[in-house]
């Protein structure tokens, strides 16, 4: 690794909160035991209102990377998502070392807030339009033992301010009425 591309330590949750404050974005964070999966985090739903996220860090065969953020119970078909998100081939999960390098988080703490660590613009941010039906969006604040709530429009403003104007696509077919 050359000096010009030397690794920069990832931003902390305190740096995230400072950036949100600087942008005038109201946020509320609740700490809780670490959660690594959507099912582990579902016990918090009564305490934290709003849309809860599931995040997929994906890559295609040409090493294009995508952070796909959907509602926690969305069903996403990795075999068919690639044309919707602009991937050049089918996608697979990105490796943990790339996740840390690009977004500054570990598996289980993946979050749309992680794009603040992607100063090189290597990751395409993708939001499911169904998630944006919620006025409040909840995501990990770069760690998985807390949940930060922000207004939907403020999340969009944050993403754009980091240079990650999101691609907003209908990714999840909601199975309303299905059991």
> Could you tell me the domains of the chain?
48-169 (3.90.960.10)
Do the Cβ atoms of 71 and 128 come closer than 8 Å? Answer: yes
pTM score, whole prediction: 0.88
Cα 8 off chain centre by:
20
What's the CA gap between 36 and 105, in Å, rounded? Answer: 12
The predicted pLDDT at position 47 comes to 73
Q: Which residues is 29 bridged to in the sheet?
A: 148
pLDDT at 173 over 90: no
Residue 176 has pLDDT above 50, yes or no: no
Q: Which residue has better confidence, 49 or 136?
A: 136
At residue 179, the pLDDT reads 29
pLDDT at 159: 98
* pLDDT of 99: 97
What are the tokens at 45?
A: 């739903």
Give the rounded distance of the alpha carbon of 49 from its chain centre: 18
In tens, the pLDDT along 63-110 reads 999 999 999 989 999 999 999 999 999 999 999 999 999 999 999 899
The string of pLDDT tens digits covering residues 129-168 is: 999 999 999 999 999 999 999 999 999 999 999 999 999 9
Residue 177, classed as helix, strand or coil, is coil
Tens digit of each residue's pLDDT (9 = 90 or more) over 9-22: 899 999 999 999 99
How many CB atoms are located within 10 Å of the residue 113 CB?
29
Q: What percent of the chain has pLDDT over 90?
A: 78
Mean pLDDT of 117-124: 96
Beta bridge partners of 93: 58
Least Cα distance to 123 among 89, 159, 83 occurs for 159
């Amino acid at each position: 690794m050359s000096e010009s591309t030397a690794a920069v330590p990832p931003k902390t949750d305190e740096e995230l909160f400072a950036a949100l404050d600087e942008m005038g974005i109201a946020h509320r964070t609740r700490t809780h035991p670490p959660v690594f999966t959507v099912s582990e985090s579902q016990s918090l739903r009564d305490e934290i209102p709003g849309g809860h996220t599931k995040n997929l860090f994906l890559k295609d065969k040409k090493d294009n990377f995508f952070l796909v953020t959907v509602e926690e119970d969305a069903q996403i078909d990795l075999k068919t998502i690639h044309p919707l998100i602009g991937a050049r081939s089918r996608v697979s999960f990105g490796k943990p070392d790339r996740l840390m390098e690009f977004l500054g988080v570990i598996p289980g703490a993946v979050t749309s807030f992680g794009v603040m660590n992607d100063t090189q613009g290597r990751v395409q941010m993708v939001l499911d339009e169904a998630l944006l039906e919620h006025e409040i969006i909840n995501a990990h604040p770069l760690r998985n033992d807390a949940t930060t709530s922000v207004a939907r429009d403020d999340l969009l403003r944050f993403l754009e301010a980091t240079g990650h104007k999101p691609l907003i696509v209908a990714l999840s077919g909601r199975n309303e009425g299905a059991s």
